[in-house]
Amino acid sequence: MFRFSFIILILAAPSLEPAHAAPRKPIQVFILAGQSNMEGHGVIDANPDQNDGKGTLEYLVKDQRTSEQYKHTVNSDGSWATRDDVWIEYLGRTGELSVGFGARKQFFGPELQFGHVVGSHFKEQVLIIKTAWGGKSLAGDFRPPSSGGDVGPFYTQMIKHVNDVLANLEEHFPDYRGQGFQIAGFGWHQGWNDGLKHDTVNEYEDNLKNLIRDLRKAFDTPNLPVVIANSGFGGKDQKIDRRLGILNAQLNVAQHEDFKDSVFTVETRPFFRSAEHSPSRQGYHWNHNAETHFLIGDHMGKAMINLISTQN
């Protein structure tokens, strides 16, 4: 009799689980877009022949002055950490959040620390879709429909790519369980190419406002939180009027009445690091400095959480 009752309980137990299981909450989706600096050029591994490894993520992890801030990026055995509650898709490259999702596998971009910040905030699964291509302008390549003229091919490609990923989540991420998704925010880091000519500088503010409005229509998210990381190349010593024009345009957009409490611009000039403390002298790629890319992602993530919290 005891054995029979035990079998009945085992057989009955599976039927109890679905009735009491809480419904899975939608995946929180963040779109990160822009040109090469959103692609990411922060160097991961230290090369002693390049400024003794200064400005790399490995250097920051090992340096006693910075190790505490960066320790979450590395495992106890020295390997780079991943987190399974944050997925990433970058133009066909998919996986759990970690280093190596930059312009090339030896790089990372703002997505790394952005993902850690939003991943730690949400209980739900997070997905970052990164759509970034080097050497692209907002005036042409990303030109939004509301700006008139020919719609930028990379604006169209960005929309298509995001929709394709979201329509095939189970293909890209085997652990997807049909919980659906919510587009929770958009991040933008771009501006170098538009800063090359005065005419594209002059139209940048309007083009960026149009980009935000058109993306909200395209994704049916009228109050989509948007975080802009401005083009702070050269840091506080930047004097070139074209570069300052892009910076000011990016800051002005967040002050527009239509975008109150839904758009924020991160001031990145304090994150610029000199070539003497970096792996390279490519100022347009933030000198490949890992700290710069980390701090941009960190502040973008925190700004995004603040916007979302304000709206909720």
The alpha-helical segments, DSSP class H, found in the chain are 2-20, 36-39, 57-62, 67-70, 111-121, 153-167, 169-172, 198-218, 241-255, 290-311
Report yes or no on 109 lying in a domain. Answer: yes
CATH code at position 182: 3.40.50.1110
Task: Identify which of 215, 170, 176 has the alpha carbon closest to the alpha carbon of residue 26.
Answer: 176
Predicted structure pTM score: 0.92
SS3 for 107? strand
* pLDDT number for residue 23: 60
Task: Identify which of 187, 193, 195, 190 has the alpha carbon closest to the alpha carbon of residue 246.
Answer: 195
CA distances from 306 to 21, 187, 295 (A): 31, 14, 16
Residue 206: domain span: 24-311
DSSP string, 75-96: -TTSSBP-EEEEEEEETTEEEE
**Cα(296)–Cα(271) distance, rounded to whole angstroms?**
7
What is the tally of structural domains in the chain? 1
Token pair belonging to 34: 């822009």
Report yes or no on 1 lying in a domain. Answer: no
Residues 185 and 224: beta-carbon distance below 8 Å: yes
Report yes or no on 3 lying in a domain. Answer: no
Report yes or no on 8 lying in a domain. Answer: no
Report yes or no on 196 lying in a domain. Answer: yes
10-residue mean pLDDT series, the chain (312 residues): 40 43 82 98 96 97 97 97 98 97 98 98 98 98 98 98 98 96 98 98 98 98 98 96 98 95 97 97 97 98 97 86
Report yes or no on 12 lying in a domain. Answer: no
Give the residue carrying structure tokens 């495992």. Answer: 75
DSSP string, 246-289: HHHHHHHHHHSGGGTTTEEEE--GGG---GGGSS---GGGGGG-
* pLDDT number for residue 25: 93
Report yes or no on 122 lying in a domain. Answer: yes
Report yes or no on 256 lying in a domain. Answer: yes
Residue 73 DSSP class = G
